[in-house]
Amino acid sequence: MKQKAYAAAGVDIDLGNQVKATLPQLLASTHRREVLGKVGGFGGLFALDLKKYRQPVLVSSVDGVGTKLKIAFAMGRHDTIGQDLVNHCVNDIAVLGAEPLFFLDYLGTGKLEPRVFTDIVRGFAKACAENGCALIGGETAQMPGFYAPGEYDVSGTIVGAVEKSRMLNGQKTVKRGDAILGLASSGLHTNGYSLARKILFDQLKLKPTSRVAESKNTVGDELLKIHVSYGPLVQALLKRFNRPGRPNAVHAFAHITGGGFVDNIPRVLPKNCAASIRKGAWEMLPIFQLLAAKGGVDEAELYQVFNMGIGMVAIVAADQAEAVLGAIGKARHRAWLIGEIVKGEGQVQVK
C-alpha cells in the first residue's frame, strides 16, 4: 500500500489514532462522576457539583517539567514524567486550599513513539487517580523537524475549586511568631535541572549511571525521583486544623518550586513580615549535599535555585506547630520545624 503523503512528511495520523485508541482504558481510573462525555471530543466536559460549595472559586495552573526531560531521554524512562507534571500542578493549587478537579495535558514530539506515549499517559493517569483528579483530555502534536530525534515536551493544565471563605491568603493571615514547617521533598522535583546537569555532567563528568555518595541510587535515578504531591495532605490538614467557627491553625502554604525558598515563600508573606529559615534544621538529601559541596555555587543561590530537600512549607500558629507536625507524620510525610515568621519586609532569610 502506498504511504500517505502526510505520513511521508513525518505526521502519521493513522498511528496517532491507533495509539489514542488505548486512552479510555488508561484514563478509566481517573474518572469522576462530574465528568460528562468521553475523552476525544473537541473539549472536555466537567459539571461542577454546586451542592458542595456556597461560593466556589475555580483555581487553575499550567506548567511543564523543564529540562528534567533531558534525564528521561538519557535514561530511556518515561513513566515518571507524567506523574511529575500532575503532582507539580496539584501542589500549585493546593497552596490556595483548592482540591483538584480535572487535568489536561499537552505532548509535542517530532515522531510519535507508541511506547513512550503510553508510558507518559500512564504516568498522567496514575497521578491523577492518586490525587482524585479527572484526566479529561489533552493534545498530542506530531511536529517533524521541530524536536531532536527521541525528544518531546509536555505541559499540563489543572483546574480545582475551593470554597471562597476557606481560601488561604497568607498575606492576610500570616503574622510574626508563626512557625514555619518544612515538608520533605523526594529530590529536585521539577526545578533546577539546568544547573544540576551542568554541575553533575559537565563539571564533575558524571554519567546517569554513576553512583551518588551515601545513596544506593545512580545519579539518573536520583534525578528522576517523582515530584511529591502534597495535595491530599494539605486537604487533610485544612480539614482538621482550619475548622469553621475556630481560629485557623494553618495560615499558609508555599510550594518550593522554581525560585526555591527565596522567591516562593514571599508570595504568602504580609509586607511587614519576613521568613527566617534555619539551615541544618532538616535532613538534606545526598543529591543536594553533592551539589552544594562540588558545584561551586554561592550558598545563597542554592536556596534560590533548588528546594534543598523541602518541597512545601506550611506556616502555622506557633502553639499548634507540634500538633500539625504530628499529623503530617501520621500521614507518612516527613517534616521539620525549620523557621519562624519575624519582622521584615517580605523577604526570606536563610541562616
pLDDT of residue 9 exceeding 80: no
Angstrom distance (rounded) from CA 24 to CA 68: 28
Residue 20 is predicted with a pLDDT of 77
* CA-based nearest residue to 119, from 71, 74, 85, 78: 78
Q: What is the pLDDT of residues 334-351, one digit of tens each?
A: 999 999 999 999 999 999
Name the percent of the chain lying above pLDDT 70. Answer: 99
Residue 29 is predicted with a pLDDT of 87
Q: What is the pLDDT of residues 16-53, one digit of tens each?
A: 778 777 777 777 889 999 999 887 788 999 999 999 99
Q: Cite the beta strand spans of 151-203 per DSSP E.
A: 152-163, 179-184
Q: Structural domains in the chain? A: 5-166 (3.30.1330.10), 170-350 (3.90.650.10)
State the Cα torsion 110-194-208-308 to the nearest 10°: -130
Angstrom distance (rounded) from CA 60 to CA 267: 17
Q: What is the pLDDT of residues 88-126, one digit of tens each?
A: 999 999 999 999 999 999 999 999 999 999 999 999 999
